[in-house]
Structure 1
């Protein structure tokens, strides 16, 4: 009976100590700073964002996400409610974007301010003030990638149209006609020399026929030049479109520049995660495993000897060969 009372007292003592430790932890980790509540209406999806996610102002943690729901005022939007401390300089020009933490995919709310308006953002009624939401870098990259693919597809279609079988046949035909026209001009010049050198001979009677042939040759050359002009206009138009698209892609702030910036940002984030986050996670895992082993040993010790919580561990009973060992009395027959 006495052992059961000791075990009950030890269990009650453990429960009381655990409750006191929990209350002390909550009291020490409580947030005593004043919080301001704002709302963000996002037309984009917030995949990866969870309640209690961080809210950062230019990279500095200033608050938490308190609630995520559908917006009843603007249909189709997602309504985020955030709590921000008083030290965050939220102004009328402050805007929000959705950021992601490296390779983990966890999202957070990123606040930024270009300094366009220094006036503080204040609520006009009972509802909290709303911070505008702008597309994130990932959304802009996705949109620009779609536009880039569309432009490349259009340019490829125009090049294919320019170099199709019919246009190639027309160009080859124009080149052949130019060759024939040059041959006709050469023949006409040779005949003219013969006529001028005949000095009234039999060949002088062929001059009208030569004039007719020259007229036909000039008409053929004119038709060939018109066809070449049309083909050259088509080539110039396609080249101008391709040059305009290339200039738009290569100009500062263009598609290639944005792709390069996004790639550098992702690489920088990956380096930071590999250099900072992973070593801390490994240390935290080792500390947690060590603490679990210590708690397991303490629980085993309390289970074997519950009186140790009240009276201490005490000295061990000396065994055979040790000083103070007393052999147990033999049982009576």
Structure 2
């Protein structure tokens, strides 16, 4: 009976010690971090993602995956619940993607920020906020795999068509024509070399004298240009002298002004007097002409005077001549 009591006490002691060790381990490993829960809904496969998988914000661990299941609101979507450190800079531009670690196939949730705020998905049945989940590069590659394979198959078919027997014959013909063209180019090069040696070299020998003549011509042109510049300077000096105050132009202007005044006085005073003298001379000449005509018709008028002329028709003493029978 005493042995049973000792065994029972030992068992109770072991159980108590084990419980104390378990409690101590849980207390030492407890997580005191303040987490904020978010949900992600994805239509893509989440293979490789497990509960307790890491959640990283731009590569820095900020949380863990707490639950993976199906979205009750969208049939066929996978619902992922994550716990993110409350100190993580989650903003309206934050979105999530699935990242993969090397060749192990293990996935984790990668958080990043877009350039502009993103429309927030509506909360789920749990009431937790949701973050946009974008397709990962691996998912995009898997989606585009069939299209890539189709393009590869089409390219392979085109290559096979390009390398067919008919095209190979054409390639052979083209290569032969290229060889013939290379031979023709070689012959042409030899002819050009012969032409340069026999004709172009003598012509090039005459280039130095031509260059010397050209240099002499340029020297003459420079001298002519210097002379023209000197003449232009002289002309400019003469123009400045003429335009100077009290110079020849001012004297010419003063003389022209005096000449204009003399012409004005001649037109206003002298010319009317000359016209009046000319009129008087003309009247005197007409009188002298009438006097000369009268002397010519009646010379005795110089001695007896002009006398009295016979009365004309309508004048007193006029007598009509008698009619001849």
Scaled by the length of structure 2, the TM-score of the pair is 0.46
Larger relative contact order, structure 1 or 2 (CA cutoff 8 Å, min sep 6):
1
Scaled by the length of structure 1, the TM-score of the pair is 0.45
